Structures are given as C-alpha cells and as structure tokens.
Structure 1
Amino acid sequence: MTKTTISAIIDRLGVTRYTWTIWILVGLALVFDGYDYIIVAYTMPQMAQEWGLTKVQTGSLASWSMLGVVIGGVIAGMCSDRFGRKKTLAFFVAFYSLLTFPIYFAPSFAVFAMLRIISGIGIGACIPVAITLASENFPTKNRGFFTAATLCFYGWGWVLGGIVALNVVPVYGWRVCFLIGGLPALYAIFILYKLPESMAWLIGKGREAEAIEIIKRMEKVATGKSGEWLPGSIVLPAPAKKVGVSALFSSGYVKATIGVWLLYFMSMFIIYGVTSWMPTLLVERGYGLVLGYSFSILQNLVGSIGGFATGFVADIIGRRKNVIISFLFTAAAILLLGSVTGKWPVLIIAVLVGVCMQYANGGALPLMTEIYPTEFRNTGVSWAQSFGRIAGFLSPLVVGYVQQVGLDFSNTMKMFAFPAIICVLVSVFLIVETKGRTVDSVVGIKA
C-alpha cells in the first residue's frame, strides 16, 4: 500500500479552486474581524468629544480591545489545537460580533472600555486560527504568498470600516457603526456548514476517514475524479516530544520563538500606533473629516498591495531576507513621512508607509506557521500574535501621551522608525529561513 502525507497530496494537486475557496472563506472572517477592530479609529473624535476625553483617554479607546485580544490569542491556540480550527473560528467570529453590537448602547467611557475588552477576546482569537487553518491548506511553494495574502482580508476590513464610518457617522452618528459590527455573527453559521476542517489537524487527532473525504473533494475539484484511499494510507509525521506553551521554548524552537515574538511585537507597535491615530491626527491638522477618513481608507487599501507582494517575493527570495529588506524600507518611509511638509506630500508618503507596513508585517506571517509542527502550530501562532498585541495595546497610549506632552505630528511619526530598525536586527540575528518547509516536515528548528 502506497503511503503519503497531507502536504504531499496538497503539493501534488497544487493551487486549485479548492485553494481559492479556502482562502476566501477564511478571508471573509478576517474582513469582519478587521472591521470590528478598526471602527474605533474612525469614531475616536466623536467619542472623545461626547465624553470629554483627554488625549491619553482618547488613545485608550483603541487600546482597550487589545487587552481582550491578548487573552483571545492565548486561549484560541489551545482551543484550536484541541477542538479544531473550524469550530474555534466560527465560535469566536460569533463572539466578537455579538459583543460589538451592545456598544451601540454604551452610556459612558467606562462601559465602552469594558465591552471592548470582552469583544477583543474574539477579535484576537480569529486571526491566529484563520492564518493557521489557511496555511495548512496551501501548497508548499505557494504558501508564503497565500499566507501573507490572507492577512490582506484583515486590511480590507479596515477599508470597510473607513467606508462605513465615512457614510454613517456624519448622518447617523458613531454608534450605528458598532450596530453594524454585530452582523458578522451570521457568518459564523456559514463557516460551520461550508468551511472544511484542517486535514492536518484531523489526521493528528486520528480522524483519518474525515480527512480522506476532504481529500476526495479536493481531487474532484482539481482533476474531476477522486482516488481510492485505504485506511492507513496517510502517514503521520513524527509526533512532537512536547506540546502546549512549554513546547515553544523547548530545544530546537526557543530561538525561533523569541525571534518571531520580538518581530511581531515591534511590527504591531508600528501598525497599531500609526493606523489607530492617523484619522484623528489628520482631522486635527485641518484635513477635515472627509479628507482625513478618505486618506486612511486609501492607505489601508493601497497597503494591501504590500500584503500581496510580500508573500510572492518571500516564496522567491526566502522569508528571512524578505523581512530584513521590508523593515529597512519601512524605517526609511517613516522617517521620510516625518520630514515632508505640505498637505499632499504628507498624504502621498503616508500611503507609502501603509504599503511598507503591510508588506513587512505580511512577510513575518509565513514564519509563524512554518516553524512549529501541527501538534502545537496554532498555539505557537496565537501566542506570538498575543505577545504582539501587547504592543498594539501600548502603542496608541504612547502616541496619546507624546501628543499630550506636545510632540508634533512629524516627530510622532519619526518615533516609529526605531521599532522598524529593531525588527531588522532581530531578523538578522534570530530568524531562520523556512522557505520550502512542508507543514509535515517540521521537527525542530536548528538555528
């Protein structure tokens, strides 16, 4: 009897309609996730005015959800590795949606903060689960592109948030934006019925028959017919000696874990500091609500180009080299943004910063999914994301503080060049190359 692995099957079939279906189904969950997170950035000026908030309190509007995001990321990995990727994703999509809806009725800053912390648990849980589920269904030679491109959906959620706010806030007020944020709960039901479970996870749990049924569906989509699969024909990779959080710091993984954690922390500090405050800073500089919001929408929309490009380039030149180059360009673009003057030069360079940020962050994603085996892959991804979200909590507060003590727009932007340089150094000394590594072949990273 011929034996094979899940990775070998996926690699043999290549990119098919099944691949694109997985990408879109997972991606839509991230669109709604991105909307529910970013909508705060577009309603910060109105909430600050209604509740009479200081600059630091205004910055905290974008930070409260990050407390929940950290918690969500931590528990999502363990839930996903135990109960399955699909069920965990569907549950947390419903969770963050149903907890965003009540913000429409929030009577005060304190109630808003409480609801955002709780809904943030779901927001934080979805990204690592979605990225892990998607990456386990992509061919090895295309995985860098598809994994990075999957995160573009999250950015498109930010674009959606800006479009909704631009049309809703002036007419109906900021609260309706959160009412709309409750609608994705319906998509959770769709996920349960339409999204296949990860075959790698099913095999790891001894559910080979279910994995074979999915394989047959893949083959029919790709070739028009399915093969005969006997029980025991799919080979399991050698089981990991450890599982859970302790495995992330075991021999063979500790250096890679530290490197990825630092890389993602600094990347999140840049992205969430810039994107959370940019609409408000532009409005305060006299750009007006329409122009300020339109620019932020454009920044996130064009930024998705970086997300697509980084995965494509990473599959060609390698993950490590791609990350080093991307954060060098990010630092340069940020310094340029802090140096230019004039309305249109600022807007043009700020769009460039958006592209560079998304390119750099997307370049780090394949590393997360490729350095850990199936048994604790989602735990590894989720803990790295959770650690990074701590920076997402701190960054808007730091920007609020430096604004409150008098730092101007230019110097505030230049501040973000430092974490970009740190990312370059981390990539040089701590990151190892994972290009070409199949999801079944991970048995330890020897750095």
Structure 2
Amino acid sequence: MTTGGRSPPHTPSGSEAEGPSGDFGLAVGSAIDGLRSARLRVHAPLLLGFIMLFDSWDSVVIAYVLPSLMKEWGIGPAAAGLLMSSGYAGQFIGAILLGRLAERFGRMPVFKAAVLVMSVFALVSSVCPGYNSLLISRFIQGIAIGGALPVSITYINELAPKAIRGRYFAAFQFITISGYAVTAAASAAIIPAFGWRPMFALGALPLLLIPFVGLLLPESPRWLASRGRIAQTNKALVKLGGQAITVNAAAGTVQTVSPSAKPSPFGELFQPIFVRRTVTLSLLWFVTSYVSFGIITWIPSIYVTKFHMEIGESLRYSAVGTLIFVMVIPAVALIIDRVGRRQIAITGSLMSALAFAALASQIAPGIGAIVAMVMIGQFFTAGVSVILWPYTAENYPTSVRATAMGWASSLGRAAALLTPLAVGGLLALTGSIHIVFVIFAVLALIATLIWWLVAPETAKIDLDMVH
C-alpha cells in the first residue's frame, strides 16, 4: 500500500504470479471467472448466506435479551458488559484459530465444524440456569461464531467471478447481515411474549442446512490448486458446473504445477511485502468494528436506561435501525463494482463521524432526533463494514487469504470485545452517554483519514495475480 490511496496491491504478471500452483492456479482462476452455472453464481452465495444469517443472529442476540436478563437476574452495567464481551472474546480466538485451520485443512471442513459447534451451543445457551453458565456457553459458542465468518467469506471470495466480485459478495453479505435485522425484529415479537430463551434456541437452525452444503458445494478450487491437488481441483470445478483443466505442458494448456507442502506461517502477514497493508487493514477493522458493534450491542440497553423507553419500544426502535443497517448492502452492491471500494468507505466513515458528533454535542434534541441520528450513524458505519470484507480478501494472495481474513476478523472481534466493557464502564462511572458518542465520532473520523490517505483501490483486481 502506498500513501495517497492510489496504488493497488502488487499484481505481477507472467511467471511472477502468486501461488504455489503456478500456471495451473491461473487457469483455475480463469475457469471460475468464466463459469455461469447456478451452483456457483446462485447456490453458493445463497446457501452460505442463509447459514451465516444465524452467525449474525448468534453474534448479536445477546444485545436484545440483555435488557430482560438485567431485570431478571439483577445484572448491573459492568456485569452486562462482561457477558457481552465473553462471546466476543471467543470470537476473537475463533477468528484467528479457524482461519489458520482453514489454510491447512481447507475451507469446507473447518466451516462445517464451526457451524455445528455454533448451533449446538445456541441450544446450550437457551437452557443456562444462571449468569456464570451463560458466560461460559457464550464464550465457547463465540469461538465457532468468530471462525465461521472469515472462513465462509474467504470461500465466497475465492468463488466470485472477477467482473462481478463486489455484487457477488454483496448478495452473500446481504443475507448474512440480515441476521441482525431478523434478530431485532424477532426479539420485539418473541421476548415480550415468550421470554428470552427461545431467542438463543433459534440460533440452532443451521443444523438443518449443513447437509446441503456437502451435497451442493465442493472445496474451494483455488485453495485446492494452491495445494497442488490437481484431481481434486478438477472435481471441484466439475461440481460447480465447469470442466476439468488438462495438465499438458506439451499442448500448452498448463505449464507448471508445484504443490505447496505447508500453509504460509501466520507471521508472513507482517513480512515486508504485506506489513503495510496488514497494519492499515488492522487499524480500519478495529476502529470500524468498535463503532459498529458499539451501536448494535448497546443501543437497546441505552434506549432503556438512558432515554427511559419501555423494553418493547426500545426493541422496536432497534429493529428499525437494524433494518436500515441491512438495507445499506443493496445500496452498496449497486455501485461497488463501478465506483470501487475506497470512495464508498471514505463517504461512509465521514458521514458516520458527523452523525455521532451531532449526538455527542446534543444538536439532536428529543427522542425522535436522537433515534434518527443513531440510525444515520448505523447506516453509514454499515456501509464501511460491508466494504471491509471483500476489500481485505482482495489485498492478499490465496496462500495467506484465510489467515489474513481471520486476523482481520479477530481485530473486529477484539474491538467488539472491548466495546461492551468500555461503554459499560463509562456508563457506570460517569452516567453520561455523550462521552460514548464522542468516542464513536473520533474513531469514525480516524477511519476516514486512513481510507483517504493510505488505502488503495482494489476493484476488479485479479485474485490470482495478487502478490
């Protein structure tokens, strides 16, 4: 990455192209780009998107059950923050650990195992008798939640045809992020009538979808090619509706195939060739996630404790705000491949900074104006969050992509872990919500400057040529 935000990640040509699979890997990438099958263009993003909808559900459901738990179990702000952070602590570990495992064992085995654990502990959380058991259950579930997302996103990006990669990923992400809105809407209907336990139990529904993943989707052909597994790569391409690639140097079809014995070490992300982009992306992930998760996880409780709403009213406002959060994805999808990633991110970060600055300075008097500013902040922060996933994948080669996605996601989870503790601590110490909005505004402004000064554009970059 270079100052000024204009130079893309290194994209060598010919024999310098990244990847242990050499020309075979390039041929696989070209084959994926040319596929028009429903299995690749429709089934993959929709099926994984619906599964990951419940990853989003499980991630944020604690925000909507927390007001009820605080009353039922007599939990104060600090203890509530710790309960929220326990899940995000697990997600921090899972994002790094499962990303590494996906680099070694493949995307699909790790993804399916994570979904299984995530679903089982959704059921466990629904029957926890008290605070401590729920704290432990959410931590273990968090490991699976945190790992499933970067692995699935790595897989989706490796299947996405280059010309429509932004829209392709947006289709997957729209369904995934819809989990936030579905959780908010369901909580407004379910919790007042049936209590909080069914909200956790519903997070186990992906158990019904796991068999369809094995039936319809193969391992990532790009990952298989990077491991030198020619036969398995061709089987994967055929399963996706393509044709096998003939390895015949004499015919000039594919010139070289060199298998890689081991995945790249985690430390490679901080080698000279990657360190600048890794540091830049780490900062973007942390500050953006701090603001995003801070709003999502705390706003229902803030509405109740600081603006004196009834729980039902708070959940309804939160549901509307989260629906707006979700609707940003179709808006981004319409322009992401034309405008690019960088301009959207700069605009979104700046607008969210202005919205939170208005809340901090009390320019928005009255509950209606406050809710409106919160929703504006959510909308534009969501836009930046949407961009970060494909943008990160486009900055790294296949050999370290899952590791990089896991690292980036772990930074987001670290921010999500700290947000409940910091906000809960500030509210307990000062009793003022305005300092919280000041922090959100400053962090959004920092993100704006990073995108503007040092983040390059990556739209339509060839994943097989990233170095």
TM surpasses 0.5: yes
Q: 1:250 to 1:80 in 2, by over 3 A?
A: same
Matched, 1:286 2:308: yes
1:230 counterpart residue number: 246
1:67 counterpart residue number: 89
- The one-letter amino acid of 1:355's match is F
Is residue 148–residue 363 contact of structure 1 (8 Å, CA) maintained in 2?
A: no
1:371 counterpart residue number: 395
1:277 counterpart residue number: 298
Q: 1:118 to 1:244 in 2, by over 3 A?
A: same
- Paired residue total: 436
Q: Following TM superposition, by how much is the alpha carbon of 1:218 offset from its aligned partner in structure 2, in angstroms? A: 4.3
Q: 1:146 pairs with 158, 165, 168, which one?
A: 168
Q: Following TM superposition, by how much is the alpha carbon of 1:20 offset from its aligned partner in structure 2, in angstroms? A: 2.1
Moved more, 428-437 or 193-202: 428-437
Structure 1 residue runs of 4 or more that deviate by more than 4 Å after TM superposition: 14-17, 232-242
Is residue 311–residue 363 contact of structure 1 (8 Å, CA) maintained in 2?
A: no
User: Distance in 2 between the 1:77 and 1:50 partners?
Assistant: 38
Query: What pairs up with 1:239-254 in 2 under 5 angstroms?
Result: 243-254=264-275
Q: Deviations over 1:2-31 (max 9, x none)?
A: 975222223234685631221111111210
Q: Following TM superposition, by how much is the alpha carbon of 1:201 offset from its aligned partner in structure 2, in angstroms? A: 0.9
TM-score by length of 1: 0.90
Q: 1:157 to 1:242 in 2, by over 3 A?
A: closer
Q: 1:264 pairs with 280, 285, 289, which one?
A: 285
Is residue 148–residue 365 contact of structure 1 (8 Å, CA) maintained in 2?
A: no
1:419 counterpart residue number: 443
Is residue 228–residue 258 contact of structure 2 (8 Å, CA) maintained in 1?
A: no
User: Distance in 2 between the 1:290 and 1:373 partners?
Assistant: 47
Q: 1:148 to 1:418 in 2, by over 3 A?
A: farther
Is residue 147–residue 366 contact of structure 1 (8 Å, CA) maintained in 2?
A: yes
- The one-letter amino acid of 2:292's match is I
Q: Deviations over 1:263-322 (max 9, x none)?
A: 001111001111101111112323322221122122122212222333443322332333
Give the secondary structure class of the aligned counterpart of 1:52: coil
2:454 counterpart residue number: 430
2:348 counterpart residue number: 326
Give the secondary structure class of the aligned counterpart of 1:440: helix
1:44 counterpart residue number: 66
Q: Deviations over 1:121-161 (max 9, x none)?
A: 00100110111100111111221233344333332111222
Is residue 73–residue 124 contact of structure 1 (8 Å, CA) maintained in 2?
A: yes
Moved more, 209-218 or 126-135: 209-218
Query: What pairs up with 1:166-181 in 2 under 5 angstroms?
Result: 166-181=188-203
- The one-letter amino acid of 1:372's match is Y
Q: 1:268 to 1:55 in 2, by over 3 A?
A: same
Give the secondary structure class of the aligned counterpart of 1:136: helix
Per chain length, whose mean CA-contact separation is higher, i.e. which structure has more relative contact order (CA < 8 Å, sep 6+)? Answer: 2
Give the secondary structure class of the aligned counterpart of 1:437: coil
Is residue 239–residue 375 contact of structure 1 (8 Å, CA) maintained in 2?
A: no
2:364 counterpart residue number: 340
Query: What pairs up with 1:50-199 in 2 under 5 angstroms?
Result: 50-199=72-221
Moved more, 234-243 or 293-302: 234-243
1:27 counterpart residue number: 49
Moved more, 308-317 or 266-275: 308-317
Q: Any stretches of 5+ residues in structure 2 without a counterpart?
A: 1-22
Question: How large is the RMSD of aligned CA atoms in angstroms?
Answer: 2.4
Q: 1:317 to 1:92 in 2, by over 3 A?
A: same
Q: Following TM superposition, by how much is the alpha carbon of 1:239 offset from its aligned partner in structure 2, in angstroms? A: 8.4
User: Distance in 2 between the 1:21 and 1:334 partners?
Assistant: 39
TM-score by length of 2: 0.87
Is residue 101–residue 110 contact of structure 2 (8 Å, CA) maintained in 1?
A: yes
Is residue 311–residue 362 contact of structure 1 (8 Å, CA) maintained in 2?
A: no
Q: 1:308 pairs with 311, 314, 330, which one?
A: 330
Is residue 96–residue 123 contact of structure 1 (8 Å, CA) maintained in 2?
A: yes
Is residue 69–residue 122 contact of structure 1 (8 Å, CA) maintained in 2?
A: yes
- The one-letter amino acid of 2:289's match is M
- The one-letter amino acid of 1:425's match is L
Q: Any stretches of 5+ residues in structure 1 without a counterpart?
A: 220-225
2:376 counterpart residue number: 352
